[in-house]
A and B are shown apart, each in its own frame.
Chain A
Amino acid sequence: DGGITQSPKYLFRKEGQNVTLSCEQNLNHDAMYWYRQDPGQGLRLIYYSQIVNDFQKGDIAEGYSVSREKKESFPLTVTSAQKNPTAFYLCASSIETGGSYNEQFFGPGTRLTVL
Chain B
Amino acid sequence: AQSVTQLDSQVPVFEEAPVELRCNYSSSVSVYLFWYVQYPNQGLQLLLKYLSGSTLVKGINGFEAEFNKSQTSFHLRKPSVHISDTAEYFCAVSYFTGRRALTFGSGTRLQVQP
Contact = CB atoms under 8 A, between A and B. Distances in A.
A28 to B, nearest CB: 17
Nearest to A58: B101
A48 B94 contact: no
A51 interface: no
Contacts of A75: none
Interface residues of A, number: 30
Interface of B: 4, 6, 9, 32, 36, 41-46, 49, 51, 90, 94, 96-97, 99-107
A104 B102 contact: yes
Interface of A: 4, 31, 33, 35, 40-45, 48, 50, 56, 58, 88, 90, 92, 94, 96, 98, 100-104, 106-109, 111
B49 A42 contact: no
A56 to B, nearest CB: 8
A111 B106 contact: no
B101 A33 contact: yes
A47 to B, nearest CB: 9
Given A90-B44, A106-B36, A108-B42, 6 more contacts: A35-B102, A35-B104, A43-B104, A103-B49, A109-B42, A111-B41
